Amino acid sequence: MSLLDNVINEISQERLWSRHLQLAEIGATPAGGVNRQALSREEITARQLLVQWSSPLGLIPYSDAIGNLFLRYPGKHAEAEPVLTGSHIDTQPTGGRFDGSFGVLAGLEIVEAMHGAQFKPERSIEVVAWTNEEGSRFAPGMMGSALFRGQRDLESMLKVEDLAGISVRESVEAVRAAEPNVASRSIGFPVAAYVEAHIEQGPILEMQQKIIGVVSGIQGKRVFRVTVQGEENHAGTSPRALRKDALVTSVDMLSALHIAMHDAEDIVKFTVGFLEISPNAPSVVPSSVHFSIDLRHPDSATLNALGDAIPGLCEQHRGPCTLQVKELSNDPSLEFPSVVRDVIRDVAVELDIDHMDLPSAAGHDARHLHYVCPTGMIFVPCAGGISHNEAESCKAEDLFNGARVLAGTIARLADRV
Ligand code: HGY
Ligand code: MN
Ligand code: MN
């Protein structure tokens, strides 16, 4: 047996599964999901558990100024750029047990297997949990990986606040204060390769009865935040002609947007998932509405054209209100390089695991790492393709096979110098 076989044989389905269940207890919801939002008290507890699991393996923990957490498994050449693998452990408020967590726990599992097989790669391997992938508590999402890439400015991200007025800055400070044993490092460093394992969050693998998805790329996404400002008034006394009802205006705007973004083929994905009315009182004419727009399309030119139309459409339908349309992120579609996809596919073939190539309709931190180093992704199925839902569910055996393919892929990439 080769050393690589020894590593793959050390992957434990039972350990990997039980860690998913243990991690899911932190922020567990009554409906069986997880609410562990970015930089929350729950995420602090989850990070401590990761560090605790990694310490018997001799992994060295680091975090940076946005709170990205790295667990380093040293290779033979300390000075060589490391290979990174991981994902995120923050969730949507009604998130599932596997979105993000699988990539981080699979990363931990493969270094545990390497440690067990006494496999020391040429390059160091780092398991990473990126900060605020979901972008639910603090927008925009993928804050940690975007900053790592150098796409955003740290100061402006630290100023972002949640709905309660708590800033990213004070939240990161709380996270890092709770981790006195985690060394500090600066944001962004050279990386040899990045591979992220993730649940598909869509139905294709399950429908095709495949276990591994070799991800070809990620579809483009633009995110907007719209503010409609009207005027608070009395629900019984104010005449319609004098009202500046921010909700009536928003409903009209949303209807126009919905019609404009509709395509018969169902390729355009247009979602308004967040809407906040103020003062949100039954007998008060709403004075302001904030809503989000999540727009996705695999063709960057189409995404650009549709996204560029949004401010004008909103303006046409603003009625008596004032309007602010702010674009929070604009990421084009991308294709991962064959140099990583080929390794993933080769490993799946060698392990005799059913696989297929497919694009990612969801966004991932791998989007940003793509601009740092050769990057790829490994998908495993989830039941019914359901995700961003407390009912999200996966089979232990699929996670196990995903980790086996990840182990082979990372071991190979980390042995290239
Ligand atoms: O919505 C997204 O695709 C991101 O992964 N949260
Ligand atoms: Mn995710
Ligand atoms: Mn998600």
pLDDT tens readout for residues 201-217: 999 999 999 999 999 99
**CATH number of the domain that residue 261 is part of:** 3.30.70.360
Query: Which of 296, 316, 331 is the C-terminal boundary of a domain?
Result: 331
Starting from the CA of residue 99, give the closest ligand: 2
- Of the residues 331, 347, 382, the one at which a domain ends: 331
Percent of the chain residues past pLDDT 70, beyond the cut? 100
Q: Given 331, 364, 390, which residue is the final one in a domain?
A: 331
pLDDT at 1 over 70: no
Q: How does pLDDT run across 283-332, given as a tens digit for each residue?
A: 999 999 999 999 999 999 999 999 999 999 999 999 999 999 999 999 99
Same domain, 56 and 191: yes
Instruction: For residue 390, report the distance from its CA to the centre of ligand 2, in Å.
Output: 14
Q: Do 208 and 236 reside in the same domain of the chain? A: no
CATH assignment of the domain containing 89: 3.40.630.10
Q: Is 13 exposed, middle or buried (0-12, 13-18, 19+ CB in 10 A)?
A: middle
**Are both 292 and 251 inside the same structural domain?**
yes
Q: Is 141 touching ligand 1 by the criterion CB < 6 Å?
A: yes
Model confidence pLDDT, tens digit, residues 364-409: 999 999 999 999 999 999 999 999 999 999 999 999 999 999 999 9
Q: Which residues contact 331 (CB under 8 A, 6 or more apart)?
A: 220, 221, 222, 363, 367
Mean pLDDT of all residues in 174-190: 97
CA of 365 to the centre of ligand 3 (A): 10
Span 127-167, pLDDT tens digits: 999 999 999 999 999 999 999 999 999 999 999 999 999 99
Ligand 1 site-directed mutation target among 364, 365, 377, 392, most atoms within 8 Å of CB: 364
Beta carbons of 228 and 315 less than 8 angstroms apart:
no
283 and 349: one domain? Answer: no
* Domain boundaries, position 299: 220-331
Q: Is 363 in the pocket of ligand 1 (CB under 6 A)?
A: yes
Q: pTM of the full predicted structure?
A: 0.96
Question: Do residue 282 and residue 401 come from a single domain?
Answer: no
Number of domains in the chain: 2
Asked if residue 213 and residue 136 are part of one domain, the reply reads yes
**Are residues 54 and 151 located together in one domain of the fold?**
yes
Given this model, what pLDDT does residue 4 score? 81
Query: Is the same domain home to 214 and 243?
Result: no
Q: What is the mean pLDDT of residues 108-119?
A: 97
Establish whether residue 361 lines the binding site of ligand 1, counting it when its CB lies within 6 angstroms of any ligand atom.
Answer: no
Query: Residue 149 in contact with residue 369, Cβ under 8 Å?
Result: yes
Residues 35 and 129 grouped into a single domain = yes
Q: Are residues 252 and 376 in the same domain?
A: no
**Shared-domain flag, residues 229 and 347:** no
Q: Which atom of ligand 1 is nearest to the CA of 135?
A: 6
Q: Quick one: 403 and 305 in the same domain?
A: no
Residue 155 is predicted with a pLDDT of 98
How far is it, in rounded angstroms, from Cα 58 to Cα 128? Answer: 15
Residue of 34, 32, 70 lying closest to 50 (CA atoms) = 70
